[in-house]
Amino acid sequence: MSGDTSKPFLEHLEELRLRFLRVLALVLVFFGGCYFYVDPVISFLSKTAGMPFVFLHPTEAFFIKMKVAFIMAIFLSVPVILFEVWRFVSVALSKRERSWVLGVLPTSYFLFCTGVGLAWFVVLPAALKFLLEFSSPDLKPLLSLDSFVGFAAWLTLAFGGVFQWPILVFFLVRMEIVDPKTIAHYRPHIVVGLALLSAFLTPGPDVFSQWALFVPFKESNPWAEVNQKSINQRPKIFPLYFS
């Protein structure tokens, strides 16, 4: 193991506190800047919904603007948050482990941003178009901004999280928790299950959205096979777990 792993426990807590304060300060700075761009974001959401939003309580408009600005600030702060987490845990990793994790983090962030962008610009408009078609002369849509932001946030986070599936498979195979041969054996069952899950997570009959969500699942098996070949050729990355 490398790094300053012999630090007293209280020193680690102090370091964690300082890193948390740095992240919090950055989030607050981004929050202040993002607040000035909340109205264009709400305007985009309103155009996506095809109607103006309403708020049901006197304070709702103010707090929902704060909520949108906070979500934007968190998203912009993710690279720094990952960096601070990495700096905190890297002292407990060996040189091989650090090089491996550094190679995975950019890919993970790229996949997350890809999933969020796909949900925001493609799936969300298609889902709204489908769901609002259930309106009738006696059932008119009246969208609250708070509920709509919650729906959009859930959808984008779901896609961002699903796009982490290849990374999860990469970790599980690399740590030898999952055997790629087992994945290959049950591949037909897994494919059907993942297709049903993709259909469940994408409201509406939009085949493209379902396919876009299904691809990260389906393509994880080749990652597993590549991982297994790498494991067979090199020493284990996590020697402490398997010694």
pLDDT of residue 58: 85
Contact 224, 176 (CB under 8 A): no
CB proximity list for 227: less than 8 A, separation 6 or greater = 169, 170, 173, 174, 180
pLDDT in tens, 51-70: 888 888 888 889 999 999 99
Give the CB-side neighbour count of residue 128, counting CA atoms within 13 A.
22
Residue 220 burial (CB count, 10 A): 20
179-188, long-range: CB < 8 A, 24+ apart? 179/228, 180/221, 180/224, 180/225, 180/227, 180/228, 181/228, 183/221, 183/224, 184/221, 184/225, 187/221
For residue 151, name the pLDDT band (cuts at 50, 70, 90).
confident
Listed in sequence order, the DSSP H helices in the chain are 9-34, 38-49, 60-89, 95-118, 124-132, 145-162, 165-174, 180-185, 187-201, 207-218, 220-233, 239-242
Q: Which two tokens stand for residue 199?
A: 């259909």
- Rounded to an integer, the average pLDDT of 121-139 is 82
Question: Which amino acid makes up residue 24?
Answer: L
Query: How far apart are the two ends of the chain, measured CA to CA in Å?
Result: 14
Q: Which two tokens stand for residue 173?
A: 């195979």
DSSP state of 3: S
For residue 236, name the pLDDT band (cuts at 50, 70, 90).
very low
Q: Which two tokens stand for residue 41?
A: 């974001």
SS3 state of residue 136: strand
Residue 155 burial (CB count, 10 A): 21
**Residue 112 clears pLDDT 80, i.e. is over it:** yes
pLDDT in tens, 74-83: 988 888 888 8
For residue 204, name the pLDDT band (cuts at 50, 70, 90).
low
**What are the two backbone dihedrals, phi and then psi, of residue 10, each rounded to the nearest 5 degrees?**
-65, -35
- Residue spans per domain, the chain: 9-242
pLDDT of residue 33: 92
- Rounded to an integer, the average pLDDT of 166-171 is 75
Q: Which two tokens stand for residue 20?
A: 């948390």
